[in-house]
Amino acid sequence: MRVENTIALVTGGGSGLGAATAQRLAGQGAKVGVLDYNLETAQKVAERIGGFAVQADVSSEADIAEAFDRVTDHFASAPRIVVSCAGIGLAARIVGREGKLSTDVFERTLRVNLFGTYYVMSHAARAMMALELDSEDDGDRGVIINTSSVAWQDGQLGQAAYAASKGAVASMCLPAARELARANIRVLAIAPGLFRTPMMEALPEEVTEQIAANIPYPSRLGLPEEYALTVQQLVENPYVNGTTLRLDGAVRLPQR
Ligand code: NAP
C-alpha cells in the first residue's frame, strides 16, 4: 500500500515510537490521526505534522469507537493504515516483598497493551472492510500494525505481565491476518528491542549504557525513526503479512 494521500491512525502518537511514526507517515504524504491518552502531546504532534489529534484511552472500547468516528468524520474516510503504539511498561514481581502480589499490575498491563490493541484492531478492521479497494494501489484494503516487544520471547525478571501482554499481541497476529485476508487487509506486529523513547529515558543513564553494551550491532538503543521506517516499509511491501518482526540489533535480553 502506498502511504501518500492515505489516511492513517497512530495510537500512542503523542510520544516515542508513535510520535515518530506519525511524523514519518505524514512526511510521506499521509493524513494522520494522532491518538493518545494525553491530548496535549497528541495536539503538539498533530500541529507539527498537520494531523488531527484525538484523545482516547485504548483500554476503553467506547473511547476507541468514538475515536474512529471522529477520525473518519475529520478526514471524510476511515483510515487504511492503523498503527498501535499506545502501551505501558510496568514492572513487578509476581510475589514481591512481604508477599505482596501484583495482580493489579497484571490487570492494568493486559487492559492497556492487549485489550487496547485488540479494540483498536477490531474497530480498524471493521472500518477498513467497508472501504472500496483502492484501484491505484496494489490491492490492499488496509494494513494494521501492532507493537509487541522482544519481551514477547525474552521476558526479564519482573516482566511477567508485560511479556504476557506482548506475547499475546504477537500471537494474535497470524489468526488476525488469516481472518482478514479475505478483505485484503494485512496484519503485522513489530517487536522492538530497546528504543530511546520517554519509556526508556526514565531509566538511569548507567542502566541504559549497560543495556546498550548487550546489544550486538548496532551497539546502541534503537531510534524511534528506525521503528517508523519499519512501519513504512511494512506498509509498502505487499507480501509481508501475518508475522511479528523483531527489530532489535540482534539483542537477546538477559534474565535481568
Ligand atoms: P512512550 O514514549 O511512553 O509512548 C507511549 C504513548 O502511549 C504515550 O504517549 C502514552 O501516553 C500513551 N498511552 C499509554 N497508555 C495509553 C492508553 N491507555 N490509551 C492511549 N494512550 C496511552 O512509549 P514508547 O517507548 O514509544 O512505546 C510505544 C510502544 O512500544 C509500547 O507499546 C511499548 O510497550 C512498546 N515497546 C517499546 C520499547 C522501547 O524500548 N521503547 C521496546 C519494546 C516495545 P501517556 O504519556 O499519557 O502515558
Task: Return the residue matching grid coordinates 540482534.
Answer: 250
Ligand 1 centroid from CA 135, angstroms: 35
Cell of 32: 494522520
Q: What angle do CA 253, 231, 150 make, to 5 degrees?
A: 15
Closest CA to 5 of 136, 197, 198: 136
- Give the number of the atom of ligand 1 that is nearest the alpha carbon of residue 224: 26
Work out the burial of residue 135: count CB atoms within 10 Å of its CB; fewer than 13 is exposed, 13-18 middle, 19 or more buried.
Answer: exposed
Decide: 6 in ligand 1 pocket, CB within 6 A: no
CATH of 7-193+225-245, one of 3.40.50.720, 3.30.70.2740, 1.10.3430.10, 3.20.20.80: 3.40.50.720
Q: What are the catalytic residues?
A: 162
Take atom 19 of ligand 1 and give the residue whose Cα is closest: 57
Quick check: 86 and 112 in contact, CB under 8 A? yes
- In order of 60, 114, 131, 198, the CA distances from 141 in angstroms are 26, 24, 7, 33
Give, for ligand 1, the residue of 11, 24, 36 to mutate: max count of ligand atoms closer than 8 Å to Cβ: 36
- Give the number of the atom of ligand 1 that is nearest the alpha carbon of residue 166: 34
CB atoms within 10 A of CB 114: 21
Decide: 197 in ligand 1 pocket, CB within 6 A: yes
Locate the domains of the chain by residue range.
Answer: 7-193+225-245
Quick check: 112 and 155 in contact, CB under 8 A? no
SS3 (DSSP) at 200: helix
CA distance 113 to 151: 13
Work out the burial of residue 19: count CB atoms within 10 Å of its CB; fewer than 13 is exposed, 13-18 middle, 19 or more buried.
Answer: buried
The DSSP annotation for 142-165 comes to EEEEEE--THHHHPPTT-HHHHHH
- Give the number of the atom of ligand 1 that is nearest the alpha carbon of residue 41: 9
Ligand 1 centroid from CA 93, angstroms: 21
How confident is the model at residue 93, as a pLDDT?
A: 97
Take atom 3 of ligand 1 and give the residue whose Cα is closest: 199
Take atom 39 of ligand 1 and give the residue whose Cα is closest: 195
The neighbouring-strand residues paired with 9 are: 33, 82
DSSP-derived pairing of the beta strands 142-147 and 81-84: parallel
How confident is the model at residue 211, as a pLDDT?
A: 81
CB atoms within 10 A of CB 165: 29
Work out the burial of residue 29: count CB atoms within 10 Å of its CB; fewer than 13 is exposed, 13-18 middle, 19 or more buried.
Answer: exposed
What is the chain's pLDDT, residue by residue, as a tens digit (256 residues)? 999 999 999 999 999 999 999 999 999 999 999 999 999 999 999 999 999 999 999 999 999 999 999 999 999 999 999 999 999 999 999 999 999 999 999 999 999 999 999 999 999 999 999 998 876 667 899 999 999 999 999 999 999 999 999 999 999 999 999 999 999 999 999 999 999 998 787 777 887 888 889 999 999 999 999 999 999 999 999 999 999 999 999 999 999 8
